[in-house]
Chains A and B, each alone.
Chain A
Amino acid sequence: MQEVHEGLSRFKVLIIGGGAREHTISLLLYRSAAEPSISSLSSSTNPGILRLCEASRGKCMKGKVTDPKEALNAAEEVSPDLVVIGPEEPLFSEVSDVLREKGFIVFGPSSKASLIEKDKGFARRLMWKHKIPGRLRYMAFRDPEEASEYARASGDSVVKPARQAGGRGVRVFGESAEHLSRIARNAAAMYTKRLAEEVRREYSDIENTIVVEERAEGIEYTTMNVTDGNSFVALPVVEDHPHLYPWDLGPETGGMGSISGPSYMLPFLTREEFEESTGIVKATVKAIYSELKEEYVGVISGQMMLTSLWGPTLIEYYARFGDPEIGNLLFMIESDFLELLDLAARRKLSSYKLEARSDVYVVNKAVAPEGYPLMREKGRGHPIVVNEDRIRSLGCEVLYGGVDIVNGRPITTGSRALEVLCQSEVGFEEASRLAEKAIAEVSTLDGYRLIHRWDIGTQEHIGLRVKKAEVARLAYTRRRCKGLNVIYDWIPGKGVMEFDYSSDSKFSQG
């Protein structure tokens, strides 16, 4: 009798998505005082989520997460008190809309509000129209030829698919010096055309194909904010590491690891910069409302950069928790995460107070099969072995990502396979060392090479960031003190072009 009663009263969560982000969310929710049962819908079987489903008597379902019908079936089967949508693609394909229509409580923005991530041109346009600080010059294009010509003419640019494409396709054509400009511009023009044609072929749900932006240089960090549209809860800032190789070398990835702490801050960020960054995100949520009449319910993450021109500058928005960034929160958040997501989804966030640990340094390192990200096929299908007991004995945690259970065995999918999360009360250096020890407990049965970045969290690496941030800070504070917020480009024979970066007075900082 008692068991039945328990089953009835237990809070039920359905998590959509099956990567390391969703594994982390499951772990955060699992430890809630409400002792929820956790169910999941995902296209592969994540060993970590599967375990939590089993332990909490939830259901682990396999299905296409971007199909609203399949999501609805899963929700109807579980009848959850809360649905949490992890990745961005289900948001774009109206999964949140359909579930809400049917009366489910959903954490995750509507498909319209998720345009802030899906449509890079929309995000930039919104920021310029509402004079939100931290913006970059951009142009959006439909026609591949036109985009290509612009990329050639503008120089020192970043070329992106206009539609969010799993972080793929973004390339930076830096002209750190003018003597390289012709080479960089030619390469940018050629690539832009190719990418535009690719985007056209692959996506029919967006008008533009390409966004070309001015290139920003500086230190990157991520600010994640949970909101119900009116109230905001800023989470601790996390620094991601986009390069594949140590010493910030190599191709761009979705992130090879992240550091955070202690408390909300990072060693290279000031309190003002932190607040300014969350201010930018808040202003954007307000702008989304005034533009689309849509309350933003979920998390909005700003991939930020501290630049020498403008200080905190927005590189890109995510309508989801950053991955690997959310991993760090597992060791940082003390308050009830289920309560946070549930209150946001019910639009009652105003009373919530987040407690974050102020005494811990967290290092999260991703482990990927060789081939990620440029030759993913190579990295697919390798059986992986993780000695979780040994890793936990180091005080670390494993977050599963690109691992699928096939015939009862964990197999790599070609993406980042897992993250190893470690903590220290002494400093990043120790947490990083622990992570190295933990990663030594991960291997493949067929001896296939796994890669990770050993430099994340080391003093050598953080020291470089701190120095770079100081240089950027001196430069942007000088501009601000002098009230310089217009960029003048004088083109001989054509005249002066003016770009006014000034912000709406309501955002102006002291």
Chain B
Amino acid sequence: MAVIEHTVLQFSTSSSSSLSAKVHPLVIFNICDCYVRRPDQAERVIGTLLGSVLPDGTVDIRNSYAVPHNESADQVALDIDYHHNMLISQQKVNPKEVIVGWYSTGFGVTGGSALIHEFYSREAPNPVHLTVDTGFRNGEGTIKAYVSVNLSLGDRQLAAQFQEIPLDLRMVEAERVGYDILKTTMVDKLPTDLEGMEASMERLLALIDDVYKYVDNVVESRVEPDNNIGRFLLDAVASLPKLSPTAFDKLVNDSLQDNLLLLYLSSITRTQLTLAEKLNTAAQVL
């Protein structure tokens, strides 16, 4: 009996169901900057995304660069030479970052996207397509990531479908820099050590106040108690180690003394420096 080959209309999925992408804030910043600096007539900017694929299949997008392109009604011409030159330069600095996909500004996927996506499929296996809505078309800056799924009939390829994948914004670096600096258009002065500390303390105080208020409200049954919040609070309180007062005093005092000693030492060094300078200049007057 001959084997009947079934011709099936199918999506060739390559484990894209579990795929997700992580975007670092630098990429968003870079895209925005390129968009602001785009040529006069250009509607959008297109560029290459660099990064790596983590062992669990997550695409880690860490860097990007814009690629000049020409766009007419039904045609997109990408400057492929530029793309390759830039890639070589980027890899000189960090060979671990490879092409993981491409980005485009604008809302969602457009017709030309399939062509560009095909180009990038040749550069990287299963590229990610990131769209950043710099026009705020529906009132918010939508950032979405897609992978392409081929729709094929037997061996014949019919179309490509863009499937949205979950996107995780890795804001830890941005947090380290401080949102205060990144959110506003102009910051006159970088916060110093102590100012930063002050801000942190204020935030901590505000948080403690919030907790107090919440607990008071629950106790006086103004607010429905939430067991989850209760457990979190319990954990927080329990995370303070139980120490006998004498042991704790010793701990704190020792640290204080250490710090004081260091301060003393550094002050002495400074005095020494000033003294040495004075002596050196005095010694010259012979």
Binding between chains A and B:
no
